[in-house]
Amino acid sequence: MTIKGTILGRRLLAAAFVGSIAVLGGCGAAGDEPEGAAASSTAPAADESAAAGDAAAQPEPDLEGVPDVVAVVNGTEIKRDEFTTAYEGQFPQAVAQAQAGGQEVDQGLLKTTVADNLVSTELLRQEADKRGIEATPEARAAAIANLLETSQLGSEEELRAAFSEQGLDDAEFDSQLADQVKLDALLAEEAGDTTPSDQEIQEAYDAAKAQQEASGATATPLPPLDEVRDQIEEQLTGGKTSEAAQALIAQLRDGADITVNL
């Protein structure tokens, strides 16, 4: 994994927002299949698709014709370099997903999606500033710890060095880290208490089990609830955050002055 895969902050946060659309796009909805069952039934096919993709010529990101100013959100410009960072960060995943389905990646659609998420990210950033949300030292430390865990680096110094190799100096790192922390705080404030009840967890497990049985993918039975409880709870929490975030984004878009130049 490269450090570019854990992008944060305003310019880098935009790519992270696209990458984390699972949180904002409903992958954690009740009824999603816990990872234990999903991985066992789909991993071999994904590996075969990846191998086939490696054998074929891989497409390159097409950024020709992307304007210097991709979008303007309430007077704030989203520039080409921000878009490029986000687009190139998402491109490999989009290619893999398309090839897994036997298709070619639709770069036009991907550009629209990336630009749309950049706009949403900027709206959230502006809202966090409007609410006076601060990036506290404790929240910064927690965010760095999370980045270290995700990137599997051993220290903050290594983390900063890795970002430096991507062209991000310490001052920009600190600025973008603060933006990420504020965005997380904004979504947490908006979502409120997202802890699922025991009943919600049981219902999600039962739905996943029924879905597995209906699909006939029973070669590897769903693990007992106790073994996948944490995964289900994480999915349900993400689903509640997703709903709150989507509602907030819709509200912010309704009153915003947005121009997209793609």
Residues 247-251 have a mean pLDDT of 94
Tens digit of pLDDT for each residue in 157-184? Answer: 998 998 888 777 899 889 889 988 999 8
Query: Do 93 and 58 form a contact (C-beta atoms < 8 A)?
Result: no
What is the C-alpha to C-alpha distance for residues 155 and 57, in angstroms, rounded to an integer? 37
Tens digit of pLDDT for each residue in 216-234? Answer: 877 788 899 999 999 999 9
Q: How far apart are the first and last CA of the chain?
A: 30
Residues 192-209 have a mean pLDDT of 95
pLDDT of residue 95: 94
For 259, list phi and psi in degrees, rounded to 5. -130, 125
| CB burial of residue 123 (10 Å; 0-12, 13-18, 19+) | buried
Tens digit of pLDDT for each residue in 33-60? Answer: 444 444 343 334 445 444 554 545 789 9
- If you search the block for the tokens 């709206």, which residue do you land on? 123
| CB burial of residue 241 (10 Å; 0-12, 13-18, 19+) | buried
Residues 237-262 have a mean pLDDT of 93
pLDDT of residue 112: 95
Structural domains present in the chain: 3-260 (1.10.4030.10)
The pTM is what?
0.72
If one compares 238 and 258, the residue with the highest pLDDT of the two is 258
Strands (E), the chain: 69-73, 76-79, 258-260
> What is the side-by-side order of every strand in the sheet holding 69-73?
76-79, 69-73, 258-260
For 71, list phi and psi in degrees, rounded to 5. -155, 160
